């Protein structure tokens, strides 16, 4: 039997709905007022809700139906005296399947209930088809973005990128769209960590280049390199601010921007040796803020391989940090210079230890191992330059070795980003 829940507004001279529905062969599960509609509908789970409400806008029926539509849509048949277009439009928007104005009659009940159920099922089917079409469209967009990532990171054609996506989806028993979303998230997280890690490096690089402007190395354009580093830092900050969630990471992004503003202010002044220590203090604040953001990004991501991206990216910072510390030690005859020089040995040890960890990682492909060997050779050159930083020729060797080491680890960090997608090979 078709079951019904009866809703009647009190004091409206309602007909004996329950009795007349039962006489028409409808199983009445109960009766209630509007304020109990959703509660009773969820408890009874009727096939159709039958309402008597002459003035729905005044009796609270629309509010109850809106809550029902959000909670558990079901067929609703309303008998009313409201002949306004506005009332009918509002009812239609809330999914009311039957809106009968001045048309109540016991002999029509069964046909009207059947019509309400049929119309509700038809509209639900249309909504399902619409939602499915929308899902297919969204999946197509995700697949296109994922193909683009694979084409750029692996140098694939569009057909080959899709073949790999489809093959990996079949292997993982996932929809291609779902797998595409995983890849997009992984690429987004890896890029965010790479850019935040670059800010760590740039904080140290900018001070080292300021030192080289104060104590020039032959054939090394420190001013031009510093201008390029400032532009790169600004681009990274803008990208992170645009792509990261302010709700989730705003408390880490704001200190990062504040630290960069202070560092830029120091860089705007003409380079002077006595100001190098204050510039370094501002750079250390940026380093700390970038380090906190990078750790949070790694911790919040589901991609386990981001630790390798972060470790390789951090080597860029350590190389530039060592360059900065050695130059400050050579230039500053102050406690700040002595402290920087004393910290250089610890920085070198940290770089050595991280290099060994990278060489032992299972992600190390043949190409990555070759790149790591090349980076190790550049590291030896830089250490030799450290010992000769007291004179211009030695500073030139140190600066060039630091540049080469930085370039190697920029490439390696990108390699580790790509290695995070090896499941598509």
DSSP 8-state symbol, 173: T
pLDDT at 425 over 50: no
pLDDT at 424 over 60: no
The number of angstroms, rounded, from the C-alpha of 402 to the middle of its chain's C-alpha atoms is 33
Mean pLDDT of the chain: 90
Judge contact between 214 and 331, C-beta under 8 A: yes
Query: On the CB side of 24, how many CA atoms lie within 13 Å of its CA?
Result: 21
Question: If you average pLDDT over residues 287-304, what whole number do you get?
Answer: 88
Question: If you average pLDDT over residues 271-298, what whole number do you get?
Answer: 95
Judge contact between 7 and 33, C-beta under 8 A: yes
Predicted pLDDT of residue 420: 59
**Helical H segments across 98-175, by residue range:** 109-154, 158-172
Judge contact between 38 and 71, C-beta under 8 A: yes
The number of angstroms, rounded, from the C-alpha of 86 to the middle of its chain's C-alpha atoms is 42
pLDDT at 423 over 60: no
Strand partners, 49: 5, 76
Strand partners, 31: 6
In whole angstroms, what is the distance from residue 50 CA to residue 98 CA? Answer: 9
Predicted pLDDT of residue 5: 96
Note if the pTM is more than 0.85.
no
The per-residue pLDDT for range 125-178, each reduced to its tens digit, is 999 999 889 888 999 999 999 999 888 877 889 999 899 888 888 888 888 998
Polymer length of the chain: 425
Predicted pLDDT of residue 304: 67
Predicted pLDDT of residue 421: 54
Interior CA angle at 110 toward 108 and 112, to 5°? 65
Predicted pLDDT of residue 11: 74
Judge contact between 320 and 294, C-beta under 8 A: no
Task: Decide: helix, strand or coil at residue 25.
Answer: coil
Per-residue pLDDT band for 364 (boundaries 50, 70, 90) equals low
Return the closest-CA partner of residue 350 out of 374, 316, 377, 378: 316
């Amino acid at each position: 039997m078709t079951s019904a829940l009866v809703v009647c507004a009190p004091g409206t001279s309602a007909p004996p709905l329950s009795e007349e529905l039962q006489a028409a062969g409808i199983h009445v599960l109960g009766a209630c007022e509007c304020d109990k509609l959703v509660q009773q509908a969820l408890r009874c789970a009727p096939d159709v809700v039958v309402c008597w409400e002459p003035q729905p806008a005044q009796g609270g029926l629309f509010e109850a139906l809106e809550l029902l539509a959000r909670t558990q849509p079901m067929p609703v048949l309303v008998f009313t005296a409201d002949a306004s277009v506005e009332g009918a439009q509002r009812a239609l928007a809330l999914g009311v399947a039957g809106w009968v104005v001045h048309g109540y009659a016991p002999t029509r009940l069964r046909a009207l209930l059947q019509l309400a159920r049929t119309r509700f099922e038809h509209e639900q089917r249309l909504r399902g088809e619409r939602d499915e079409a929308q899902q297919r469209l969204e999946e197509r967009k995700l697949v296109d973005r994922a193909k683009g990532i694979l084409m750029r990171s692996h140098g694939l054609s569009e057909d080959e990128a899709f073949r790999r996506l489809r093959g990996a989806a079949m292997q993982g028993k996932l929809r291609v769209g779902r797998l595409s979303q995983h890849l997009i998230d992984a690429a987004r997280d890896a890029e965010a960590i790479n850019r935040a890690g670059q800010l760590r490096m740039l904080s140290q690089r900018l001070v080292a280049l300021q030192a080289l402007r104060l104590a020039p190395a032959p054939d090394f354009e420190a001013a031009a390199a510093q201008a390029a580093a400032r532009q790169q830092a600004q681009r990274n900050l803008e990208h992170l601010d645009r792509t990261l969630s302010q709700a989730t990471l705003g408390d880490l992004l704001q200190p990062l921007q504040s630290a960069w503003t202070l560092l830029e202010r120091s860089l705007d002044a003409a380079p002077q040796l006595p100001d190098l220590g204050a510039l370094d203090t501002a750079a250390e604040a940026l380093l700390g803020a970038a380090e906190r953001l990078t750790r949070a990004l790694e911790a919040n991501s589901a991609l386990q391989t981001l630790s390798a991206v972060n470790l390789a990216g951090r080597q860029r910072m350590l190389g530039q940090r060592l360059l900065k510390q050695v130059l400050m030690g050579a230039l500053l005859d102050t406690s700040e210079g002595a402290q920087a020089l004393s910290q250089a040995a610890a920085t070198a040890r940290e770089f050595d230890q991280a290099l060994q960890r990278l060489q032992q990682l299972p992600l190390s492909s043949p190409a990555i191992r070759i790149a790591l060997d090349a980076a190790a050779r550049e590291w030896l050159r830089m250490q030799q330059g450290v010992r000769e930083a007291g004179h211009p020729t030695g500073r030139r060797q140190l600066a060039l070795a630091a540049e080469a080491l930085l370039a190697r680890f920029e490439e390696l960090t990108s390699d580790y980003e790509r290695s995070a997608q090896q499941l598509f090979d």
